[in-house]
Structure 1
Amino acid sequence: MHSNHILPALRRLTMGLMVVAAAAGTAAAQQMVSVKGSVLNMREGPGTHTQVLWELKRGYPLQVVERRGRWLKVQDFEKDQGWVAASLTGRQPHHIVKAPVANVRSGPGTRFRVVGKAEYGELFKTQEKRADWVKVKRETGASGWVARPLLWGW
């Protein structure tokens, strides 16, 4: 008699744990990092013996796809993937322009005046986020607001 009640409860517990594990995997996959040093090599595999695919500059945002020891498999805004040393990444938020051109505005909305333009692939330091807008800062020190759908990063 007891086994009839235990088995369904055990199944529910197992399913619940699988859902929690899947959610944890998704959360890890959504983690973002950025390049901490002046330049970072994105490699073909997890190790310095593997081929360098790209050199990424300071602040470049990356989405963590997988972890293997001291290495992170990452993806950039164009969905290119490679491996980077975790110790060379940080948690300073940055964004990249993913649209062909983006207006940089004086405030968080289309009613604010355009103070500049940003082109595809331009890198910004993230200063603030409000709803669908991100306040960003250029290397030159100039800052402004860009519509979030035109950007990739965090």
Structure 2
Amino acid sequence: MKKHLRKVTFGLIGSLLLTSNIYGAEKGVVNTNILNVRSGPGTHFSVTSQLRRGQEVEVIDSSNEWLKVNLNNQEVFLHSDFVSIIEVPVQEESIVQLQRQAIVDTDILNVRSTPSVNGTRITQLRRGEKLGVVSQSGEWYLVTGPNNIEGFVHGDFIRFAEDKTVLSEQNQVKELIAVVDVNVLNVRQEPNTNSSIIGKTYRFNQLKVVRVLEEWVEIVQTDGRTGYVSKDFTTIREIESFENVDRIRQEVVDYARQFLGNPYSWGGNSLTDGIDCSGFTQQILGRFGFNISRTSRTQINDGVRINRNELLPGDLVFYGNNNSISHVALFIGNGQIIHASNRRTGIIISNIDYGTPYIGAARIIN
């Protein structure tokens, strides 16, 4: 008997498709007055019972002229000449597509192109980021996330919104701050460039956010007055507790470690194909929303200067000769740094006093 194979395709989000091969079920209807039911596929097998015209059976398989059928939960055989085959349509409504919410429940979560650890890594998500769950494939879930990403994540590393803890986290109103990304930023009375300038704010100042518009951010100035700054020149963040800051520091370090062994390239900007010391620190911190300048000499001014005995994971450490900075690294704790060192070694972990003289340190994560 020929199997009737149907391919049901689920239209998902964007260009991703999930397909499932489903066999149409078949039943047989007796088309003769009396039909012998036999224990095997042949007339030499014993007759176990008889069926009458119009009785229905579930067809399992075929062998030459004989049908294997399910009759009263037993596998028996009928001659195919006396059974009419009817295909039962697949009940597509029985295929469930999930429409749920979840959050990332691990420090760094890989999003892959297929539901397998062998799938290409599309991007990575941080703990607490919100996901839309579309469908399930074994232990993997097709999800959508920030910036319209879509791909598969393993179910062990997400929590569903039905979890009371998740619902509580999602229902909290988060306070926002705007961190100034340019040296000097005008504060205006209204959200347009024709409005009067009522103040100025400076790089790394953190301003309480009243509301975020499409191109402008309404903020509270240090004197308590409200005003508007251009959204293009700020980074919007949630106000973090001290515990969350410590968690972010560790996430920064964990993220940086993923690129150990990758090549060094002066002026390069690829964490995988080649990057230099300041490009490395810029991109690692930028992944977490901390925007800093491109060179080691300027990065020391992008944060708050700190003493060596104040270093915490995620801080920047600077090196050079005669107080002229020529190298920057990321402090990872326990007296160690991770850095894009040189062409010979690439991205490595070293002791803080690895060779080039220490000049100073700066804190970006604050």
The TM-score with structure 1 as length reference comes to 0.48
Determine which structure has the larger helix proportion and give its number: 1
Which gives a bigger RCO, structure 1 or 2 (Cα 8 Å, sep 6+)?
1
